[in-house]
Amino acid sequence: MSLVLDPAAQDLLFREARTANTFTDEPVTEEQVQAIYDLVKYGPTAFNQTPLRITLVRSAEARERLVRHMAEGNQAKTASAPLVAILSADNEFHEELPALFPAFPQAKDLFFSERPARENAAGLNAALQAAYFIVGVRAAGLAAGPMTGFDFEGVRKEFLDDDHTPLMVVNIGKPGPDAWYPRSPRLEFDQVVTTV
């Protein structure tokens, strides 16, 4: 066998996992979210930067505000999901680099003194962390419904600030009835991998 991860875990995280479109009303607890974060925080990023920020939308009032900014096809599922998370990139992540990357504390000023460089790095590395977050949700036995169909500027103004760039909204919970669309095709190995 080429993979050391148990086949059941492979299925849970990848083969059987899908983007959920309906959810049960079983709540997602703070303990579950904490366990997810405590697992996925170890995913690698450049200079150990940690630009991902997670805004949990729990109250009915906040949920209503968020749903207004979702694309029409995403409104009902966002309104009914047990938990919704707004994932964003903190463009001021560099302030934490001396503590997060003590082997090279100068990285903060050497590479990230200019805002455009920070925004590029934050976007890429927070996207990596967002992918780890989705896999972590699956590892918790929950389903994730990540979406980019929303008014990014509206969500930023409503929930974040000028230093945070929204990346995606993720519905989280136990999958409900008819949660899955049919599996879409994937590219084969030879279509993706080139050896030089």
Q: Residue 26: its pLDDT value, please?
A: 97
pLDDT band of residue 52 (cuts 50, 70, 90) is: very high
Residue 25 domain-assigned (yes or no):
yes
Asked whether residue 190 is domain-assigned, the answer is no
Mean pLDDT score, 14-18? 93
Domain that holds residue 88: 18-175
Residue 181 lies in a domain: no
Q: Which strands make up the sheet holding 52-57, listed edge to edge?
A: 52-57, 83-90, 164-173, 143-147
pLDDT(1) > 90: no
Residue 33's pLDDT is 98
Residues 113 and 9: their CA atoms lie apart, in Å, by 42
Whole-number pLDDT of residue 141: 96
Report if residue 142 sits inside a domain: yes
Is 79 a domain residue?
yes
Residue 183 lies in a domain: no
State the pLDDT at residue 127.
98
The per-residue pLDDT for 195 is 97
Q: Is residue 9 part of a domain?
A: no
| CATH number reported for the structural domain that contains residue 159 in this entry | 3.40.109.10
- Per-residue pLDDT of 55-82, as tens digits, reads 999 999 999 999 999 999 999 999 999 9
Look at the chain and report how many structural domains it folds into. 1
In a domain? residue 180: no
In tens, the pLDDT along 20-48 reads 999 999 999 999 999 999 999 999 999 99
Burial tier of 137 (Cβ tally within 10 Å: 0-12, 13-18, 19+): buried
